Amino acid sequence: MSEGKAPAWQVRAAARQKQLERVQERVRDKEENFHNRSDLYRIVLALIDGKLSTGSLNMAVTGSLPAIPWPRRKMVYDVLRTANDSFETFQRSPIEGAALWAKLFEWAAAQIAWPHSQALEAQEFDDPMLIFHAAGSMVEVPLE
C-alpha cells in the first residue's frame, strides 16, 4: 500500500460507514422524544421498508403505527428525508443506495432486538439453572 493511499474498496467502505454513522447519530438524538425507544426504531423500520420496496420515502407507511403520535413519526421522517438526500448525492449506483438503506434497516432492527438479547444474557448469568439446567454456563451437560 502506498503512503496516503488504500485499496479503492476500503476507501469506499469507509465513506459508506461515515454516511451510516451520521444518520444513526441523528436517529439516536431523537430517542429522548420517545417514552419507548423501540417506537422510534419501529418508525425507522417502516419508513426504510417502504423506501426499499417502492423506491421512495413515504410518510403514509407509518399509518400502520397509529399508537405513535403523528409529530413523532414526522420527526423521524424528517431525519430520514435528510438521509435520503445525502444517500442520493453519495451513491454511485442505485444498488449502492439500496445497500445503504438495507444497512440502516439492519441497524434499526438490532436496536429493537438488543434489549431482549441483553435481558437473556443477564438471566443466563443470574440464573443459569433456569436457562441451562446447570450450575453455570460452562458446566458440561449432555447434548439435547
Residue 14 in domain: yes
Residue 142 in domain: no
Residue 120 in domain: no
| Number of folded domains that form the chain | 1
pLDDT for the residue 91? 98
Angle at the Cα of 87 from the Cα atoms of 82 and 93, rounded to 5 degrees: 155
Number of residues assigned to the chain? 144
Residue 103 in domain: yes
pLDDT along the chain (144 residues), means of 10: 90 98 98 95 96 93 87 96 98 98 98 92 92 89 85
pLDDT for the residue 1? 67
pLDDT in tens, 56-89: 999 888 888 888 999 999 999 999 999 999 999 9
Residue 140 in domain: no
Are residues 107 and 20 in contact, defined by beta-carbon separation less than 8 angstroms?
yes
Cell of 29: 438524538
Residue 51 in domain: yes
Residue 143 in domain: no
Residue 108 in domain: yes
Domain extent for 19: 8-113
